A and B are shown apart, each in its own frame.
Chain A
Amino acid sequence: MRFPDLMHFAAGGLKGHRLRTSLSLLGVGIGVASVILLTGLGEGARRYIAGEFASLGSNLLIIVPGKTETAGLAPLISTAPHDLTRQDAESLVLKVRAIRRVAPVVVGTASASSGERSREVTVVGSTRDLLHIRHLKMASGRFLPADQPDAAVCVLGARVQRELFPEQNPLGQLVRIGEWRFRVIGVMAPRGTSIGMNLDDVVEIPVETALRLFNRHSLFRILAEVDSHDQLDQARRAAIAVLTERHAGEEDVTVLTQDSVLGSFDMIFKALTAALAGIAAISLGVAGIGIMNVMLVSVSERTREIGLLKAVGVTQQQVIAVFLVEAAILSTAGGVVGLLTGIGAGRLLQGLYPEFPFHSPGWAIGAAIAVSCMVGLTFGLLPARKAARLDPVQALMMRKA
Chain B
Amino acid sequence: MSTRDLLRLAWHAIWFHRQRSLLTMLGILIGIASVILLTSIGEGTRTYVLSQFTQFGTTLAAINPGKISTSGLPGALGNTVYPLTFEDAEALERIRGLTRVVPVIMGAAPVEFGSATRNTFVYGVTADGPEVWRMGVRAGRFLPRLDLRQGAPVAVLGPKVKRELFGDQNCLGRHVRISGQRYLVIGLMENKGQFLGFDIDDSVYIPVAEAKRLFNRDALQEIDVLFANASFIDPVVERIRDLLKQRHKGTEDFTITTQTGMLETLDRVIRIVSLAVGGIGAISLLVGSIGILTMMWISVNERTSEIGLARAIGATPGQILLLFLSEATLLSTLGGVLGLVTGIGLAQLLHHYVPALPVRTPPEFVLLALAVSFLVGLLSGLLPAQRASRLNPVVALTAE
Contacts and interface: CB of A to CB of B under 8 A. Distances in A.
A401 B20 CA distance: 15
Given A109-B71, A122-B70, A215-B219, A282 B30 contact: yes
Interface residues of A, number: 69
A277 B287 CA distance: 16
A297 to B, nearest CB: 5
Max chain B Cβ within 10 angstroms of own Cβ: one of A74, A217, A293: A293
Contacts of A26: 290
B120 A69 contact: yes
A71 B70 CA distance: 27
Contacts of A74: 108
Contacts of B119: 67-69, 252
Interface stretch (A17-25, A87-95, A147-155, A311-319): A17-25
A77 B286 contact: no
A72 B290 contact: no
Interface string A27-49: 10011001000100000000000
A400 B400 CA distance: 9
A81 interface: yes
Contact of B26 (A279, A283, A289, A401): A289
Nearest to B215: A79
A358 interface: no
A250 interface: yes
Contacts of A73: 121, 198
Interface in B153-180: 179-180
B346 to A, nearest CB: 12
Interface string A131-154: 000000000000000000000000
Interface string A355-368: 00000000000000
Nearest to A73: B198
Contact of B23 (A20, A77, A106, A293): A293
Interface in B99-145: 105-110, 118-121
Q: Chain B: interface residue count, which band?
A: 35 or more
Nearest to A292: B23
Interface in B43-71: 66-67, 69-71
Interface in B1-43: 19-20, 23-24, 26-27, 30-31, 34, 38
Given A80-B108, A214-B80, A290-B291, A296 B215 contact: no
B106 to A, nearest CB: 6
Contact of B109 (A72, A76, A81, A107): A81
B265 interface: no
A286 B30 contact: yes
A70 B120 contact: yes
Interface string A295-322: 0110000000000000000000000000
B78 interface: yes
Contacts of B251: 111
B108 A66 contact: yes
Interface in B245-296: 251, 253, 277, 280-281, 283-284, 286-288, 290-291, 293-295
A276 interface: yes
Contacts of A66: 107-108
Nearest to B276: A276
Given A34-B280, A68-B119, A69-B118, A81 B179 contact: yes
A81 B287 contact: no
A79 B213 CA distance: 12
A30 B107 contact: no
A391 to B, nearest CB: 19
A294 B294 contact: yes
B106 A77 contact: yes
Given A66-B107, A72-B198, A80-B107, A279 B280 contact: yes
A293 B18 CA distance: 11
B287 A27 contact: yes
7 contacts: A20-B298, A31-B283, A111-B253, A213-B81, A248-B180, A279-B280, A282-B30
Question: Nearest 7 CB-CB pairs, A to B?
Answer: A108-B79, A79-B107, A178-B81, A66-B108, A81-B179, A290-B291, A214-B79
